[in-house]
Chains A and B, each alone.
Chain A
Amino acid sequence: MKFAVLVFPGSNCDIDMLKAVEDVVQQPVDYVWYTSTDLSQYDAILVPGGFSYGDYLRCGAMAQLAPVMQEVRKAAEEGKFVLGVCNGFQILTEAGLLPGALIRNNSLKFRCHPVDLRVENAGTGFTKDYEQGEVVRIPIAHGEGNFYCDEETLASLRKNNQIVFRYAGDNPNGSVDNIAGICNEKGNVVGMMPHPERAVSELLGSKDGARMFTSVLNAWRERNGAASVR
């Protein structure tokens, strides 16, 4: 399975994301620069956190217009696995690949600490190695992670089982319905504010994020008829 980690000017979690893939699932993984116009060789596209384009105008607003994003749209339509973390989540919402928007934390503070998350949908390609309803510990680090959508969108997210993670303890940012991560209707595109790539080893305080990477490898292997491994 081949992974791409997108790199925009201002991305700063790209190295962590690449190392997480290397360390957890030992699969080939490349940095892909935002000017790339071909993602056809990749099976999963990871959009890392950071401050793409310095968060100019709005978080993710400029990045969603980068050349590589046309390819991400194509990959998402083809059913390939796409994961956006933090700024990556903001970019996917700005690009219209996921509903809603991420606005300023209600505290106005940059929140940077571990949080408890409840796995609300263990059926996506990125969460199949978790138990439904399981609580995992993964850090957040954001100033604009307050997920907002209108009532109608929220109702459809609930109906289609698109809420992937909820904050299990205190809501750190004011997100509606305590939402920490969502997926598209097909379940192949996932966006989340917490950073699973920063929680892949006990040395980092938690390895609860590692299963996002084993999940997607197993999902890909199942899809391609290969034996899954743990």
Chain B
Amino acid sequence: MKATVYVTIKENVLDPQGNAVQGSLQTLGFGEVSKVRIGKYLELQLDTNDRAEAEKRVKAMCEKLLANTVVEDYRFELEG
């Protein structure tokens, strides 16, 4: 089974990197870009077929390591 994890910066937390990229996009003429938020994308290959168990364990992975919930949100998808 494959888990795809998205870690994003919380809405109320400043993302200076995103702001800089937004500025660059505008410089390039993409004036319609009003906001950019940069996050992380992780692919995990899991040796299990138990979806419910995988759900529980990937959540624990996110809470314990993959995201810092003080400043980041996470969501994930399971496939296969």
List residues of chain A with CB under 8 Å of any chain B CB. Answer: 57-58, 61, 65, 93-94, 99-101, 103-108, 146, 148-150, 174
- A66 CB, nearest partner CB in chain B, Å: 13
Q: Is the interface of B mostly helix, strand, loop or mixed?
A: loop
Count CB-based A-B contacts (< 8 Å): 35
Measured between beta carbons, the chain B residues less than 8 angstroms from A149 are 70
- A153 CB, nearest partner CB in chain B, Å: 8
Residues of B in contact with A, size category: 10 to 19
Contact B70 A148, beta carbon cutoff 8 Å: yes
Residue of B whose beta carbon sits closest to that of A60: B68
Measured between beta carbons, the chain B residues less than 8 angstroms from A101 are 68, 70-71
Q: Which of B9-17, B27-35, B48-56 contacts A (4 or more CB under 8 A)?
A: B9-17
Residue B25 at the chain A interface, CB threshold 8 Å: no
Measured between beta carbons, the chain A residues less than 8 angstroms from B14 are 103, 106, 146, 148, 174
B38-78 vs A, CB cutoff 8 Å, 1 = contact: the mask equals 00000000000000000000000000011010110000000
Contact B16 A148, beta carbon cutoff 8 Å: no
- A182 CB, nearest partner CB in chain B, Å: 13
Assembly CA distance A101 to B65 (angstroms): 14
Residue B20 at the chain A interface, CB threshold 8 Å: yes
Q: Beyond the given A65-B65, A103-B14, A146-B14, could you list 18 further A-B residue pairs with CB under 8 A, ordered by the A residue number? A: A57-B65, A57-B66, A58-B68, A93-B70, A99-B70, A103-B13, A104-B16, A105-B16, A106-B14, A106-B16, A148-B13, A148-B14, A148-B70, A148-B71, A149-B70, A150-B70, A174-B14, A174-B16
